[in-house]
Amino acid sequence: MKKVFSLLTLTISLLISTASFSQIFEPVKWNTEVEDLGDGTFNLIMNAVIDDGWYLYSQAVPEGGPIPTAFTFENENGDFELIGETIESTGKTKFDNVFEMELTTFTKEATFTQKIKRLNGSLTNITASVDFQSCDDEKCIFEMADLSFDLPKGTNASADKKDTGNAEDTDEDESDRGLWAIFFLAFFSGFAALLTPCVFPMIPLTVSFFTKQSKNKAVGIKNAVLYGIFIIVIYVLLGSLVTAIFGSDVLNELSTSVWFNVVFFLLLVVFAISFLGAFEITLPQSWANKVDDKANKGGILGIFFMALALAIVSFSCTGPIVGGLLVEAASKGGMAPIIGMLGFSLAIALPFTLFAIFPGWLNSLPKSGGWLNTVKVVLGFLELAFAFKFLSQADLVLQLHLLEREVFIAIWIAVFGALALYLLGKIRLPHDGPLTHISVGRLLLGLLTLSFVVYMVPGLWGAPLKLISAFPPPLEYSESPYGVGFSKLGGGTAALGGEELPDGGHLMAPHDILHFFDYDKGLKYAKEVNKPVMIDFTGWACVNCRKMEQNVWPEPGVLRILKNDVVLISLYVDEKRKLPEDEQYVSPETGKKIKTIGNKWSDFQIKKYQTNAQPYYVLMDHNEKNLVKPEDYNPDAEAYENWLKSGVEAFKNQ
């Protein structure tokens, strides 16, 4: 009895251990429906239910992008005819910085509909398959699913109809994060606008008006609060107007449009030149005069027109900032313009309201002077620099290679270099007054800007520039992907010593890591050179695989190990090349037919390591035994290097 109990306990423990180790992900589940349209025609409806945090790619993906969702309908006997293309529900389209192109994805759910005409009256079942890629923030899955459709025997039978055109892609968490980012960007931009020559001097004038014209302090406070509220209302109405005119859906589409990015680049350049002093963007003076007349009438309506007068009079300074914010907010789409104007106006309104409530604070304000124009000019340089982000995105979408990485960085070096010279007093602009000396604060800001310029200079020779990685084009989108003057053999190329590549070996650009696509050839070479094997389960369209290769693998310690201490075998689970007929099989693990090289490596990963996510890294010896626990996506370069070192050390100690 004790032996039976012990055996039972051991079995349960093994089951629990296996379950906890297994990482077979199935983030997308498929179900099917059939809609009878009459006259022998049907809609075959494929519904994808997507787990939270995951997303599925559209059918339409540009060449060189991720794996598109693709349907294959089995019709060897010609029993039916496909009518038109497979129609998909509405997804979310945006520019993807990793793949450098516009991509459409789905979250939560997606619906695909294929119309067919039955040619064989006895046909009651259609089979199909779908190949697709799904990803979350850390990994990607390359999958295939079998689909089955049961057709009604008679024309009177029909399935419930389903609306296939209104599925919304609502990644709420991502949207919320984007709106908060817009809010805080706008809020701090509002404070920057306060420190311009059109707005800052208005604070004491406005506060003086409320304190002198109000019957008592309570009335003054009430009027000041109303004034602040009306400032917020006016700017939020502006954001609402932008959203109402274009619509949130149109704004989402515009954000990935080439013309949108080019037009907004030109707008920001005009705003920047205005801030630098070439001209002023002002609203008609007649508007200000009419508003002033109404403001003098007093009462709540008069306070509203006072707030409107502030917006009109200060437009030459706030206009370019508001315009830039609306550009950025419109690129996010949805409610972003409204949220942006709420943040901006809140920052403008707070000081006016607080100083009116506590007028004694006015004594602590610095006096107006030339420093206000300095703030305005600095904002102009910043707008000019950020304008090229939009032009760069248009160039990336069109793949014109006119604004490659080196050109973008050179422009930023020139812009921020000129800003540094301006702050240090070496450049004078039209509205600058006499400068007998520069303040300590201005000197420190000039030195900080100059340091930033020096930091960017190595980027012309291939340095990654991680501090500004979100702005310039990626390393691959450059005149010299390897970096100017970069030696391919720098740091060692898998210790080849200048010899020819081994059978099956390839060099991975831009760092020339020797790797193999063939498992057997890679294992054979590892035995010859007596090094451990590192299996890299990856994909051509795996976003986080590219992030690891671009951000973690180039780190000196990691790169040295990958080049010299291990033999890398890269197994691409989305490789679409067909296996020979005699090598195709049905997986005993998943029950799916293995038809491609990618299917083979995916099934191998599931069978041997009980996971199907990429990236996934394994360090093993020549007997194919793991040296350490496998690793997945890990952007911490130091931790990843320690993992590599532990595997290499375990191999040496065998």
Q: How far apart are CA 549 and CA 634, in angstroms?
A: 11
Whether residue 649 is predicted with pLDDT greater than 90 in this model: the reply is yes
Tens digits of per-residue pLDDT, 33-44? 998 888 888 999
Residue 612 has pLDDT above 70, yes or no: yes
Dihedral sign (CA 262, 268, 271, 273): negative
Q: Are 552 and 637 in contact (CB under 8 A)?
A: yes
Inform me whether the pLDDT recorded for 314 exceeds 70.
Answer: no
User: What mean pLDDT value characterizes the chain?
Assistant: 77
Write down the pLDDT at residue 436. 77
Residue 362 has pLDDT above 70, yes or no: no
The pLDDT-based confidence of 488 (bands split at 50, 70, 90) is very low
**Strand 513-516 vs strand 567-572: parallel, antiparallel, or unpaired?**
parallel
Nearest to 534 by CA among 545, 524, 526, 542: 526
pLDDT band at 12 (very low <50, low <70, confident <90, very high): very low
Checking if the pLDDT of 173 tops 60, the result is: no
Lowest mean pLDDT among 170-174, 270-274, 285-289, 455-459: 170-174
Residue predicted with more confidence, 312 or 401: 401
DSSP 8-state code for residue 278: S
Range 462-490 average pLDDT: 66
The token pair at 327 is: 């550009």
How is the beta sheet containing 28-38 ordered, strand by strand?
28-38, 41-50, 109-118, 80-88
- The segment with the largest mean pLDDT, out of 66-75, 287-296, 414-423, 590-599, is 414-423
Whether pLDDT at 15 is above 50: no
pLDDT of residue 279: 72
Q: How confident is the model at residue 380 (pLDDT cuts 50, 70, 90)?
A: confident
Average pLDDT over residues 494-517: 74
The pLDDT of residue 329 = 63
Q: Say what the pLDDT of residue 526 is.
A: 93
Q: What pLDDT does residue 129 have?
A: 87
The confidence score (pLDDT) of residue 242 equals 65
Instruction: Provide the token pair at 261.
Output: 């990015």
Q: What is the pLDDT of residue 16?
A: 41
Give the global pTM: 0.46
> Which class for 331: exposed (0-12), middle (13-18), buried (19 or more C-beta within 10 A)?
buried
DSSP labels for 33-47? EEEEEETTEEEEEEE
Distance of CA 80 to the CA centre of its chain: 42
> What pLDDT sits at residue 103?
83
Question: 137 and 53 in contact (C-beta within 8 Å)?
Answer: yes
Is residue 480 within 8 Å of residue 458, measured between CB atoms? no
54 pLDDT higher than 80: yes
pLDDT digits (tens, 9 = 90+) for 128-153: 989 888 888 777 788 888 898 988 87
pLDDT at 46 over 50: yes
pLDDT at 154 exceeding the cut of 60:
no
* Mean pLDDT for the stretch of residues 409-418: 95
- The pLDDT-based confidence of 253 (bands split at 50, 70, 90) is very low
Has residue 419 got a pLDDT over 90? yes
What domains are defined for the chain?
Answer: 28-167 (2.60.40.1250), 181-367 (no CATH), 505-652 (3.40.30.10)
Q: Considering only residues 537 and 255, tell me which one the structure prediction assigns the higher pLDDT.
A: 537
Distance CA(28)–CA(130), nearest Å, equals 11
CA distances from 259 to 102, 395, 470 (A): 14, 11, 21
How far is the CA of 244 from the CAs of 179, 236, 237, 568, in angstroms?
A: 18, 12, 10, 55
Provide the pLDDT confidence category of residue 393 given band limits of 50, 70 and 90.
confident
- For residue 151 the two structure tokens come to 């057709």
Least confident of 171-185, 358-372, 487-501: 487-501
29 or 298: which carries more pLDDT confidence? Answer: 29
Percent of the chain with pLDDT over 70: 72
Among 86, 85, 76, 70, residue whose Cα is nearest residue 123: 76
Residues 76-117: pLDDT tens digits?
888 898 988 899 988 888 777 666 677 889 988 999 999 999
- The number of angstroms, rounded, from the C-alpha of 150 to the middle of its chain's C-alpha atoms is 41
